[in-house]
Amino acid sequence: MKVLVAVKRVIDYNVKIRVKTDGSGIETSNVKMSMNPFDEIAVEEAIRLKEAGRVNEIVVVSIGAQQCQETLRTAFAMGADRGIHVLTEKTLEPLAVSKLLKEIVQIENPDLVVLGKQAIDDDSNQCAQILAGLLDWGQGTFASRLDLVDGKIEVTREVDGGLETLWLAMPAIISTDLRLNEPRYASLPNIMKAKKKPIDQKTPEDYGVDITPRLDILKVENPPSRAAGIKVANVNELVTKLRDEAGVI
């Protein structure tokens, strides 16, 4: 079977971001970018299914600026087979991304689509659910375990209060949670091989999808900062402060 994985290029999770002084957004020039951590988990899961002989082709998709091709190459170096890059410099919202993914899914006909549960930049947590809705496929969000059983998918989901296991008819959409797997590092030979794997470049117009944003970003600000705290010398002083000064115990 065939798996499609969507990957996003985001500001690296270790970077302390800076809000632009004009309030228009986040400073992204000269900032380290990398693959969204949840998407690495999605790529890893697809590769593990392939290594287990359940999958024969892994197609990765990334949508955005030219540099998204680096993100696709990272997925290739991990083990993905080929890529689709939808080139656009415009602001993309989850609805637009999912509409593009829907068109790609209908051309590629994968049996399974794996996405990260959320991108660490816009923190939306929507794409997998929207795509599943647009395609009218089953969805296994926040997956921490995945199994293929009798032509169905068994997925264990991380929910508030514990874990929940569902079955999904195939084809289906999965979104990955942190504990699904531990993504591998690409080896140097695989990074070299990744350069030869094909990327099919497209544009939103090729798919006839309107990506006009539905939300206007009016301003982006720093969050309110906390007043500086103090260090106390010992536990007794802490208890006194919490009781008399803060009044929280």
Site for other proteins in 68-97 (CB under 8 A): 93-95
Which CA distances in Å does 34 have to 23, 40, 59?
24, 10, 19
199 binds other proteins per the rule CB under 8 A: no
178 binds other proteins per the rule CB under 8 A: yes
- Backbone angles phi and psi of 185, in degrees to 5: -90, 145
Distance CA 135, CA 144 (A): 23
Among 158, 184, 190, 193, binds other proteins (CB under 8 A): 158
87 vs 170, beta carbon nearer other proteins: 170
Q: Which stretch binds other proteins (CB under 8 A): 42-50, 68-76, 161-169, 194-202?
A: 161-169
Q: Burial, 101: exposed, middle or buried (Cβ in 10 Å; 0-12, 13-18, 19+)?
A: buried
11 binds other proteins per the rule CB under 8 A: yes
For residue 114, the cross-strand partners are: 5, 174
120 binds other proteins per the rule CB under 8 A: yes
Residues 209-248 that bind other proteins (CB under 8 A): 213-223, 226-227, 229-232, 234-236, 238-239, 241-242, 246, 248
122 binds other proteins per the rule CB under 8 A: yes
Among 13, 82, 16, which residue's Cα sits nearest to residue 43?
82
